[in-house]
């Protein structure tokens, strides 16, 4: 088994339609994420998506009601995966500061290794979908957001975090991290281990009491 035989397998996969049902859905999701991350929602016509994913145009609509639903579903997939990653080793019982650093490192680690997920997420957040989504999120915090709120409230109670609104806490804590990840992905800076730590640490400086 070498690179050539693997290519030949891919050839079969595309041409001989040996993709299973799950394969198809996965292929669509993967291709859509790549295309949208790189070209944006409007730079990714369904026809291009179907072509690159190696499926018929109508096939996409078996898995996703329409383009909007596909876009939201894609975001949910990323969100779910990230939350799972975050919660896997979350140090629930450790001090607020340690939890804060854990979250910051997770965000950086996860998205630096999944640049497509990151760029997709950025596009999503900055779009009509994103605003609607954000509104719902603030009303009904779940997953990592729920952790963050707990963290925030615990920090407030213990007087280790400043007296600020939750929303502002999010902004101070995570905005620089997100921007730094973006700059890393776009090649404007390289985040080594020291720098990562420095960034998270600086964010902590901005919220700690």
Partner DNA sequence: GATGAATGAGCGTTCATTCAT
Partner DNA sequence: CATGAATGAACGCTCATTCAT
Residue 58 binds to a copy of itself (criterion: CB under 8 A): no
Cα–Cα distance between 113 and 197 in angstroms, integer?
A: 16
Within residues 26-65, the interface with DNA by CB under 7 A covers 42, 44-48, 50, 54-59, 61-63
161 secondary structure, DSSP code: B
- Residue whose CB is less far from DNA, 59 or 85: 59
Cα–Cα distance between 184 and 43 in angstroms, integer?
A: 23
> Is 54 strand, coil or helix?
coil
122 binds, among a copy of itself, DNA, none (CB under 5 to 8 A by kind): a copy of itself
Residue 8 binds to a copy of itself (criterion: CB under 8 A): no
> 131, 146, 153, 158: which one contacts a copy of itself (CB under 8 A)?
131
Residue 128 binds to a copy of itself (criterion: CB under 8 A): yes
* Ordered DSSP codes for 84-141: HHHHHT--TTS-HHHHHHHHHHHHHHHHHH-HHHHHHHHHHHSSHHHHHHHHHHHHS-
Q: How far is the CB of 80 from a copy of itself (least distance, A)?
A: 23
- Interface with a copy of itself (CB under 8 A), residue total 40
Q: Cα dist. 173→8, 38, 146, 148, 203 in Å?
A: 48, 27, 15, 10, 5
- Exposure of 90 in the CB half-sphere (CA atoms within 13 A): 20
Stretch that binds a copy of itself, among 18-26, 90-98, 99-107, 167-175 (CB under 8 A): 167-175
- On whether the CB atoms of residues 27 and 53 are closer than 8 A, the answer is yes
- Provide the Cα torsion 25, 17, 12, 26; round to 10°: 0
- Residue whose CB is less far from a copy of itself, 27 or 108: 108
Stretch that binds a copy of itself, among 74-82, 105-113, 131-139, 152-160 (CB under 8 A): 131-139
Tell me which residues touch DNA (CB under 7 A): 17-19, 21, 24, 42, 44-48, 50, 54-59, 61-63, 66-68
Tell me which residues touch a copy of itself (CB under 8 A): 39-43, 122-123, 125-128, 131, 134-135, 138, 162, 164-165, 167-168, 170-172, 175-176, 178-180, 183, 186, 188-189, 195, 198-199, 202-203, 205-207
């Amino acid at each position: 088994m070498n690179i050539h035989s693997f290519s030949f397998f891919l050839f079969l996969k595309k041409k001989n339609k040996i993709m299973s049902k799950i394969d198809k859905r996965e292929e669509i999701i993967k291709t859509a994420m790549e295309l949208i991350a790189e070209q944006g929602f409007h730079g990714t016509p369904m026809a291009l998506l179907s072509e690159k994913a190696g499926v018929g145009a109508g096939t996409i609509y078996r898995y996703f009601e329409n383009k909007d639903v596909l876009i939201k579903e894609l975001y949910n997939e990323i969100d779910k995966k990230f939350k799972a990653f975050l919660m896997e080793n979350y140090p629930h019982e450790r001090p607020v500061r340690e939890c804060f650093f854990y979250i910051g490192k997770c965000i950086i680690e996860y998205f630096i290794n999944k640049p497509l997920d990151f760029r997709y997420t950025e596009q999503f957040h900055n779009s009509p979908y994103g605003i609607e989504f954000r509104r719902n999120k603030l009303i009904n915090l779940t997953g990592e957001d729920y952790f963050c709120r707990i963290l925030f409230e615990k920090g407030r109670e213990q007087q280790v975090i400043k007296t600020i609104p939750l929303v502002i806490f999010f902004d101070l804590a995570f905005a620089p991290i997100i921007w730094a990840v973006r700059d890393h992905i776009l090649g404007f800076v390289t985040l080594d281990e020291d720098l990562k730590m420095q960034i998270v640490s600086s964010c902590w400086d901005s919220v700690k009491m």
